[in-house]
Structure 1
Amino acid sequence: MIDLSGKRVVVIGLARSGEAACRLLLKQGAAVIGTDRRDERQIGDDLCGLERDGVGLELGEQYLRSLLSADLVVVSPGVDLREPLFARVRETGIPLIGEVELAYRCSEATFIGVTGTNGKSTTTTLLGLILKQAGIPAHVAGNIGTPLCRVAPSLSADECVVAELSSFQLETVETFKPRVALLLNLAPDHLDRYDRVEDYYRAKARIFENQRSSDVAVVNADDPLVLRAAAQAGGRKIAFSRIGSLTEGAYVEGDQLILALDGRREAICRVSELKIRGVHNLENSLAAVLAAATVGAPPMAIRTALTGFEGLEHRLEFVAEIGGVRYVNDSKGTNVGAVVRSLESFTDPIVLIAGGRDKHGDFAPLLPLVRERVKRLILIGEAAGVMQCALASACPIEEARSLQEAVRLAAAAASPGEIVLLSPACASFDMFADFEERGRVFKAAVRGLVPPAYSIRGQA
């Protein structure tokens, strides 16, 4: 626990996590200054409540003015720590932490942390559902949408926080120690924010940094990068595998999802019973099963929640079938690794819609799968030119000026029995507020393909 009474605390970044940090700090008796590079007009109405409740605001060009006079600095995950002034903060000895660390220090709850390049939200949500089905009090928060500072401090020691954690959030942990830590997979991402891919992997590996022998590290046995990142983890390492059997852990045997733990081996369910499809969702399911079992969820509760879970919006979400063509929304596929997994999930020919804001990733790993499974590639957004150069030899490519136009072009190119897949491999911020808006626009465009009098199978 941390004593903040009377301390001068600067919170940098006033989006959801920054606002939640400000409010928690006020409850802890701190004198809070909220800062943001954006001005009042750009942020909107959220500032009124903060200022009314006692948070001093410093916005726009002056947003770092009070930094060096603080007793503590709390940085939101959207703030790039490569800003030169942060080096001066550390040199002067001012503690600098993030919202995750603040929530952890102000909470008695048991933390379960979930990170990885892809699959975090699905695994976090599924794990929360399994624990609730098992009667274990569980609250889902973190990078998935609800800030940890809004949830964790009010919970007791017998309650769990299932926290989705991004690399940006893990950069600023110090004492954060999850009882169970999951690292799902690693692939290059966010290279617009990291100077080297190794720095990104190192940030992810910090989820294990403070674990001890009484804690559990859940790792992907099929991912060499994960195994390397977890090599120094102090917790008890337990693995899951989609492609091989394990003496201890969760794995697939034929059509059975098997849990082997503490000397017991049990078939949880058939893989064919899962409602969420795709190889990556099978891995997510294995990880959630294993983590839930380590905190006491019984097999029957795991099975009930697992086989009833229908997945999340914007993650390989079936939208509609029109004229024999299936339309799938994978707007959350914001990096190359995610798109690889999505393409691997289908055997029918695909018309792929991709593009957006380039995160400086390498699109070359897409080449074999695009050549094998994609009959036409339709590109949108700022990265269209870069992607066309990287994938020109794989299949016919055309560019669209908008996502709506891309959907119309895809519909014209697809034949019955084929799939139109939105899986961008890029961020959304060149054209949309976030990946959720991009997914909603895609679904609206699909619904607009036919007159209202026609029925659309599976319309979302």
Structure 2
Amino acid sequence: MKLDKDIIKARLKDCLGLDSRASKIVVVGLGATGISVARFLMDLGFEFVVADSREHVVSEQLREELAAIEIVTGKFDEALFSQATHLIVSPGVALTEKAIAAAISKGVEVVGDIDLFVCSVNAPIIAITGSNGKSTVTTMVGEMASAAGIKVGVGGNLGIPALDLLKQPAELYVLELSSFQLERTRHLNALAATVLNVSADHLDRHTSVADYAEQKQRVFMGSEVMVINVDYPIVAAMQEQGRSTITFSIINKADFYIAENAGIEYLMHGEKPLLALSELPLEGRHNAANALAALALGVAAGFDEQAMCKVLKHFKGLEHRMQRVAEIGGVIWVNDSKATNIGACVAALQGYQHKVILIAGGDAKGADMNELVPAVKAKAKGVVIMGKDAALIEQAIDGCVPVYKAENMQQAVRIAASIAEVGESVLLSPACASLDQYKNYQDRGDKFVQAVLELIA
């Protein structure tokens, strides 16, 4: 049900102290989230200022849309921020930015887009976070809800910003949430929430893995059901006595787990086999974990198990996530460009029964590349490295497997093609962010696909 604007404004005032008449609001950041916040506030009749540190971020179309709003670009104005009552800070902007930190020290309130969203909906929320698998599980659960005949809004850190989901009425929201979104969220109260896993990531923004995990744990604030991956000790430790909890594991028995019967592995719920692992279209045991998480969240939301399994049997996965691109001369080429951290790369490698040629590299974001070593030793025939932190990868894996250096994706693909033999796979799973050489991970993945298809031409 869509709430009346006056009700939303009253809730914003009660929950966040945001007053359309009295509050001095600065929206910080004009990416997709910041634009969604600006549209939301404009629709409610709030007055505010928008600030972005980039000089040329505002398109002519956006400037026209925000014609009534003051937009300040360039270096953040410390005085502007400190004189505000509220900063609504986009997830892409660090709270340690000098002007923001100074404002916080003076008592200025920081609000995130998810707080605004939670105050504006009556429908239940399923909230999903983790280092890896968030988008896949979010999409799975969204498709399960649709299959159950539920009007569902799917977005957040994936695709549509949360506040833009309010344009269409929904009976349920399935949100992918990043650590940066959770860091500035005070209220969530989800019907069901999960931390899928935690591995070293974003250490350029978080002070430690423990700090990163602490932000992830905020997804459970007020949730009715906690869905916990007990394969990760740091996640298992998030369980709270007295809270309704559903566990899942691909290693040991849990509420949802994997078990073998007559030589066939099944996704299990309790003692009940739900789906043969071989019926999952997605490759890799990490995708089996994603399926278990989606099933657990669906059960928490009251979805029919048989219908959920039908969705999983036909789930084709997402682009740039273990995406099979082509088979050329008996070699399978796989695009896993979304593997922007070590944990994702390790999970991808561990899913293989045979040796692969790995293409890796980019911006390591402060991560320790030595964590790649066991998986590379066990699964890689060779590694083609590229990008800003290629030397860090080479230093870590030197002596484990042959290492080849490439200047760009086309060269990396050609080197991999010269090494790969029939029955092997070439896997782009960079273990790093992409912004050192590409617009984003999608651009990197597209360049890989293009280079692979050029091998056929």
TM-score scaled to structure 2, two decimals? 0.92
One-letter amino acid of the counterpart of residue 44, structure 1: S
8 Å CA contact 1:107, 1:155 repeated in 2: no
SS of the equivalent of 1:18 reads: helix
- Name 1:296's counterpart in structure 2: 302
SS of the equivalent of 1:352 reads: strand
One-letter amino acid of the counterpart of residue 129, structure 1: E
Deviation at 1:267, TM superposition (A): 2.6
From 76, 88, 107, the equivalent of 2:121 is 107
From 115, 130, 134, the equivalent of 1:116 is 130
Deviation at 1:227, TM superposition (A): 1.1
1:340-367 CA distance string (max 9 Å, x none): 1100111222111000012111111211
- Name 1:140's counterpart in structure 2: 154
One-letter amino acid of the counterpart of residue 324, structure 1: G
Deviation at 1:153, TM superposition (A): 6.8
Q: What is the aligned-residue identity percentage?
A: 37
Q: Say what the alpha-carbon RMSD is for the aligned residues.
A: 1.6
- Name 1:28's counterpart in structure 2: 44
Q: 1:49 to 1:107 in 2, by over 3 A?
A: farther
1:219 aligns with 2:228: yes
SS of the equivalent of 2:138 reads: helix
Measured in 1, the distance between the counterparts of 2:113 and 2:153 equals 17
Q: 1:343 to 1:225 in 2, by over 3 A?
A: same
Deviation at 1:233, TM superposition (A): 7.5
One-letter amino acid of the counterpart of residue 210, structure 2: E
8 Å CA contact 2:54, 2:74 repeated in 1: yes
Q: 1:286 to 1:95 in 2, by over 3 A?
A: same
8 Å CA contact 1:8, 1:30 repeated in 2: no
From 240, 251, 255, the equivalent of 1:243 is 251
- Name 2:12's counterpart in structure 1: 2
Corresponding pairs, count: 437
Deviation at 1:95, TM superposition (A): 1.9
1:273 aligns with 2:290: no
- Name 2:193's counterpart in structure 1: 181
1:167 aligns with 2:175: no
Measured in 1, the distance between the counterparts of 2:297 and 2:38 equals 32
From 394, 403, 428, the equivalent of 2:409 is 403
- Name 1:191's counterpart in structure 2: 203
Measured in 2, the distance between the counterparts of 1:301 and 1:289 equals 10
One-letter amino acid of the counterpart of residue 330, structure 2: G
1:73-118 CA distance string (max 9 Å, x none): 1000000111233333233332211111111112222111000111
Q: 1:329 to 1:76 in 2, by over 3 A?
A: same
8 Å CA contact 1:208, 1:235 repeated in 2: no
From 421, 432, 436, the equivalent of 1:415 is 421
Measured in 2, the distance between the counterparts of 1:182 and 1:317 equals 24
Measured in 2, the distance between the counterparts of 1:62 and 1:337 equals 34
- Name 2:214's counterpart in structure 1: 202
One-letter amino acid of the counterpart of residue 41, structure 2: L
Greater mean alpha carbon deviation, residues 431-440 or residues 231-240: 231-240
1:231 aligns with 2:247: no
From 144, 151, 159, the equivalent of 1:130 is 144
* Structure 1 residue ranges without an equivalent (≥5): 452-460
TM-score scaled to structure 1, two decimals? 0.91
SS of the equivalent of 1:66 reads: helix
Map residues 312-327 of structure 1 onto 2, 5 A cutoff: 312-327=318-333
1:247-284 CA distance string (max 9 Å, x none): xx211121221224xxxx54321111110111110000
- Name 2:98's counterpart in structure 1: 84
Measured in 2, the distance between the counterparts of 1:109 and 1:432 equals 38
8 Å CA contact 1:36, 1:63 repeated in 2: no
- Name 1:348's counterpart in structure 2: 354
From 27, 33, 44, the equivalent of 1:17 is 33
